[in-house]
C-alpha cells in the first residue's frame, strides 16, 4: 500500500501567516472588510498563488474567484474553498483557512500526479462576512442564484459604498456569468468558531448542516428632548427601546434554550449626546436556530415585544430584514464521507451543526456539500485572539485533502 498523501504543513502555515499580514491590525488580528483596498491586496496575493500553481483563474460578475486544475478542463470540478474577507476585528483563520488549506490540498493533488476523474478547484467567495454589505454569504448566494446580480451590485454598505462601484474599483468584476455552473461537489474546511470541539476534546467536526439565520435592522424614531427637563412620563426614548430589546432577546434565548442564540451587536443613537434623549436609534438583532420553526417563534416573539414597546413608549418602529436563511442540512453521504475519512486518520470526530453561516450552505443548494470543522481555542472567533492549534489545522487540512482526493478519483460523486 502506497504512503498516504499528506499536505505540506510548513507551506500552509507560511501562506496563513502571509495572508494574515495583509490588513493586520497589530494585535494578531486582521481587518479586510469586503471590497476594501485590504481585501483587494489579499485577493491579489491568493490569485498570484493560484497562478503560480498553474491553475486557471476565473472571476465571475460578483467577484467570486476560482482556480481550476487542469487549466484547460471544462467539466464541473470538485470544488473547495471559503472566503478571505474578514470582520473589522477578525482573526487570521476564519475563511482564510478554508481557502489556503484548499489551495494546499490542490497543490498536493497536482504534485502527486494521481489521475483525476474530474477537475479540482479552489474558490474564494465575495463578502462572506456581511460586515460591510448585507447579507452575509453574499457572493456564494449570488453564485447559486439566490440573489439577482443587479440587486447585489446595487447593495449599499454600512459606509455608503456600493458593491458594483467597489468591485470595479478593486478590479474584480469578472466575466463568468452568475448564477454559476454547479460544481460536482463542494467541501469547505473551517474553524468551528465555537467552544464545542475543544470542550469535548474532539479533533474534527463532521458538519451536518447550518443553523438558520435571521438578521434584522430596527430603526426606532422617538422624540429628541432635553435630558434634564423632560419628565420620565413624557419621554419617547429610542435608546430605552434599544436597551429593552437587548435585554429581551437575552431573556428570550434563555427561555428557548440552546441552540437558540440572540445578539444585539450594533447600536447607533442620534444625536448620541449625554444630555439629549435621542431622536432615533438603529440597532440590529441576530437570531439563529437549527430549527426553522423555533427561529420563526423567536422572530414572532421579538416582533410582539417591539410592537408592545412602541405602543407603550410612543415611538415608531421600522424593521428591515438584512438576511434570512432557513437552516440547511448537508448531503448525508458527504457527511458520512468526512466522518469516515477523519476516523481513518485516527482522529476523534463529532457530527455537529454549524452555529455560523458559511458559503457551504449556499453551495448545498446546487451540489452535494460537506464541511470539516477544526477546534477553536476558547471558542473565540471574530476576534484578533481567534486561534486554532497548528496540529488541528494540519489535521483538518489532511482530512480535507483526502475527502477531495476521494471525490476527484471516485467513479461517481458523492
Which residues from 192-231 bind a copy of itself, rule CB under 8 A? 192-195, 211, 213, 215, 217, 223-231
User: Strand locations in 167-271, DSSP E?
Assistant: 185-191, 204-210, 212-221, 225-226, 261-263, 267-270
User: For a copy of itself, what does the binding mask look like between residues 315 and 334, x meaning CB under 8 A?
Assistant: -------x------------
Residue 240 contacts a copy of itself per CB under 8 A: yes
Residue 354 contacts a copy of itself per CB under 8 A: yes
Smallest distance from the beta carbon of 296 to a copy of itself, in angstroms? 17
End-to-end CA distance of the chain: 24
Smallest distance from the beta carbon of 158 to a copy of itself, in angstroms? 8
In eight-state DSSP terms, residue 180 is P
Contacts of a copy of itself in 266-285 (CB under 8 A): 266-279, 284
Among 264, 338, 360, 405, the residue binding a copy of itself under the rule CB under 8 A is 264
Query: What is the spatial distance between Cα 92 and Cα 83, in angstroms, rounded to a whole number?
Result: 11
Smallest distance from the beta carbon of 231 to a copy of itself, in angstroms? 6
Smallest distance from the beta carbon of 306 to a copy of itself, in angstroms? 14
Contacts of a copy of itself in 74-93 (CB under 8 A): 87-89
Among 108, 127, 131, 140, the residue binding a copy of itself under the rule CB under 8 A is 131
Residue pointed to by grid coordinates 467567495: 125
Query: What is the spatial distance between Cα 32 and Cα 22, in angstroms, rounded to a whole number?
Result: 8
Among 356, 366, 367, 372, the residue binding a copy of itself under the rule CB under 8 A is 356
Smallest distance from the beta carbon of 137 to a copy of itself, in angstroms? 11
What H or E segment, with its residue span, contains residue 369? strand 369-374
CB contact burial 226-259 (16+ within 10 A = b; e otherwise): eeeebeeeebbbbbbbbebbbebbeebbeebeee
Residue 244 contacts a copy of itself per CB under 8 A: yes
Smallest distance from the beta carbon of 389 to a copy of itself, in angstroms? 18
Residue pointed to by grid coordinates 490569485: 47
Taking a C-beta distance cutoff of 8 angstroms, is the pair 67, 45 a contact? no
Residue 168 contacts a copy of itself per CB under 8 A: no
Residue 312 contacts a copy of itself per CB under 8 A: no
Query: What is the spatial distance between Cα 16 and Cα 91, in angstroms, rounded to a whole number?
Result: 11
Residue 28 contacts a copy of itself per CB under 8 A: no
Amino acid at each position: 500500500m502506497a504512503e498516504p498523501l499528506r499536505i505540506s504543513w510548513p507551506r500552509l502555515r507560511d501562506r496563513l501567516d502571509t495572508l494574515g499580514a495583509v490588513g493586520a491590525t497589530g494585535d494578531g488580528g486582521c481587518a479586510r472588510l469586503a471590497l476594501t483596498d485590504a481585501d483587494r491586496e489579499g485577493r491579489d496575493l491568493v490569485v498570484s498563488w493560484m497562478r503560480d500553481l498553474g491553475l486557471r483563474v476565473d472571476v465571475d460578475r460578483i467577484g467570486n474567484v476560482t482556480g481550476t486544475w487542469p487549466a484547460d478542463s471544462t467539466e464541473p470540478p470538485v470544488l473547495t474553498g471559503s472566503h478571505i474577507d474578514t470582520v473589522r476585528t477578525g482573526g487570521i483563520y476564519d475563511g482564510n483557512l478554508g481557502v489556503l488549506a484548499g489551495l494546499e490540498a490542490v497543490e498536493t493533488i497536482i504534485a502527486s500526479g494521481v489521475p483525476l476523474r474530474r477537475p479540482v478547484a479552489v474558490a474564494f467567495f465575495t463578502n462572506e462576512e456581511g460586515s460591510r454589505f448585507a447579507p452575509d454569504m453574499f457572493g456564494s448566494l449570488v453564485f447559486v442564484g439566490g440573489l439577482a446580480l443587479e440587486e447585489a451590485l446595487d447593495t449599499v454598505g454600512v459606509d455608503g459604498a456600493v458593491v458594483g462601484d467597489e468591485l470595479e474599483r478593486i478590479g474584480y468584476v469578472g466575466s463568468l456569468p452568475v448564477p454559476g455552473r454547479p460544481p460536482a461537489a463542494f467541501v469547505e474546511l473551517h474553524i468551528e468558531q465555537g467552544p464545542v470541539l475543544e470542550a469535548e476534546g474532539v479533533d474534527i467536526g463532521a458538519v451536518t448542516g447550518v443553523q438558520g439565520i435571521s438578521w434584522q435592522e430596527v430603526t426606532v424614531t422617538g422624540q429628541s428632548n432635553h435630558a434634564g427637563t423632560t419628565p420620565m412620563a413624557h419621554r419617547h426614548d429610542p435608546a430605552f427601546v434599544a436597551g429593552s430589546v437587548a435585554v429581551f432577546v437575552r431573556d428570550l434565548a434563555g427561555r428557548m434554550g440552546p441552540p437558540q442564540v440572540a445578539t444585539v451587536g450594533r447600536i447607533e443613537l442620534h444625536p448620541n449626546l449625554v444630555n439629549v434623549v435621542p431622536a432615533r436609534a438603529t440597532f440590529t438583532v441576530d437570531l439563529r436556530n437549527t430549527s426553522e420553526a423555533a427561529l420563526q417563534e423567536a422572530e414572532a416573539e421579538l416582533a410582539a415585544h417591539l410592537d408592545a414597546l412602541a405602543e407603550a413608549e410612543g415611538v415608531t418602529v421600522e424593521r428591515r430584514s438584512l438576511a434570512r436563511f432557513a437552516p440547511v442540512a448537508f448531503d448525508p453521504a458527504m457527511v458520512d464521507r468526512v466522518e469516515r475519512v477523519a476516523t481513518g486518520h485516527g482522529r476523534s470526530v463529532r457530527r455537529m451543526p454549524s452555529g455560523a453561516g458559511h458559503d457551504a450552505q449556499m453551495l448545498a443548494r446546487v451540489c452535494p456539500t460537506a464541511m470539516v470543522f477544526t477546534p477553536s481555542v476558547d471558542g473565540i472567533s471574530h476576534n484578533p485572539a481567534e486561534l486554532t492549534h497548528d496540529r488541528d489545522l494540519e489535521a483538518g487540512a489532511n482530512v480535507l485533502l483526502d475527502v477531495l482526493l476521494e471525490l476527484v478519483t471516485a467513479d461517481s460523486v458523492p
